[in-house]
Structure 1
Amino acid sequence: MDIASRFHPERDPLRPPPAPGLGRGFSLAVAAHVLLVVALSFGVSWRSTPVPALEAELWSAVPQAAAPKEQLPTDPQPEPPRPQPEPPRPQQPTPQEVQAQRDADIAVAKAKERKQKEEQEQREAEEKRKQEQRRKDEAEQKERDRKAKEEQAKKDEAKEKADKAKTEKARKEAEARAEAQRQENLRRIQGMAGASGGPTSTGTALKSSGPSANYAGRIKARVRPNIIYADPGGPSNPEAEVEVRAGPDGTIVARKIVKSSGLPDFDGAVLRALDKTEKLPTDTDGTVPRVIIITFRPRE
């Protein structure tokens, strides 16, 4: 009894038995189809880019009961191969999307270029500012150096002038001293040639000169009557010294107070008296001193 008669006892015994090896051939066919599907899947997958998978969870608005689980027969029959779903093809972008992406790339590139240009302009502006500042600093330093040189030149010139003036002054003073010494030597030589003084005389003139002892009294006797002054009295009797310059004939050419008496009215009265006197008397030798100092007192 074969397998078909065992599982199907109602089979007609007169029917010819199935061809041997059918199950093995069916298994080989299934395996070949599986290999074919795997090969097709591999060929498609390596040529396309992966598409991101989307996962969606579907909910039924009305609860439904699940169908009963399929009961497999005791001796399962080989099932025909199920068609494998075709792998999803990558979705091609639309022209609008391509244009939008291109515009976005252009905008990004322009923004990047604009930013680089702004940064470059900022760097150039900063470098230009630094260069201008350096030029300004150099100009100011040159101006300071120029002024410093001018001031130093002025100081050197002033010092040189001062040194020259000092040297010239010293030279003139030395020349004046030398001339004075020469004149003194000449007078001394002349005095020694015809001097009439005694052995102990220290003068340099040929003969002694000067007013006589009573010459000042003679001048006072002539000037005193011309002094008009009201003596206020008192214990003090101050004196006024007057320098009088006269010509060869005794005419008074100048007079001045060299020591005041402390009484302005008395000093003025003495000067007016000399002006009124006009001429000094001659000395015992018939001469008049060119310069003489006379002393006057209110009460004499």
Structure 2
Amino acid sequence: MHAHTDRDQFAPPRPPARLRAITLAVLVHAVLIGALTWGVNWKNTADQPAVEAELWAAVPTLAAPRAVEPPPPPPPPPVQQVTPPAPPPPPVRAAEPPDTREADIAIEREKKRLEQEKKAREQQQLREKRERDRKEEERRDRLEQEKKERLQKERDKEKEQREKQLAEQKKAEQDKQKKLAEDKRKADEASKRKAEAEAKHLAEQREANLRRIQGLAGATGGENATGTALRSAGPSGSYGGKVAAKVKPNIVYPDAISGNPRAEVEVRLSPDGTIVGKRLVQSSGNKAWDDAVLRALDKTETLPRDVDGRVPPSLTIGFRPQD
């Protein structure tokens, strides 16, 4: 709306109204007609001469009685004045176009001003758009950075939890192995104590039996014998072969073995030949072979009697894979 008002102020003046032009023309014609009429009347008056006479007498005379003046002659008929035809009105000149240079200059200035304002608004809008774009980009970058930091924290937390879980599992496994080792140690100690107790019990039982037998019959040892048995307690020369023949079929060892190592086992027996205890006194160097020998003795359970019908209370037996 302000732009429209400014444009009206700098617009060229509007041409005069048609009514005003007609009124001016009529007044001009009336003045011309009046002037012509006055000129004609002035000329007629000048053409009629004025006569005036003055009389002088040499002798004074009495004045005669005033004569009766004759009636004045009738006035001449008025001269009819022929009114010349009115001259044609001068042609109405077309109104000269107003000088619009100043208006054009004002319009051009206004156009430039409007263009400058438009350009300024566009530049301002462009700056505002760039500022909005910059802020939006900063916002996106900030959100992206926050997202990366959040993901990194989550990954670090997960990694820490995994490491903690692995450490707990490792510790639990170590505790388990430690407990198993401790249980095995306790079991071995218990087995050892049990075996020692059984061996002691068997020895006491054997000594009691020997004393009982000794009381029933005389001793068979020599004069220089220091033992308390009725006869020598050592097994015969063929007893080892009989024991090996009984135990070896129960040895199960499918794997190949290098060399021919010897595993020696001390076996404790009851009087009827039942195996009541065993102990590996010398390893073959191959744990699998040692375990196979011990399992075979467990499976055998009893050993045969010697040629004299007796069973030695204990003996050491050697086993080789290729015997």
**Larger relative helix fraction:** 2
> Which entry has the higher C-alpha Rg, 1 or 2?
2
Please give the TM-score of this superposition, normalised by the length of structure 2: 0.38
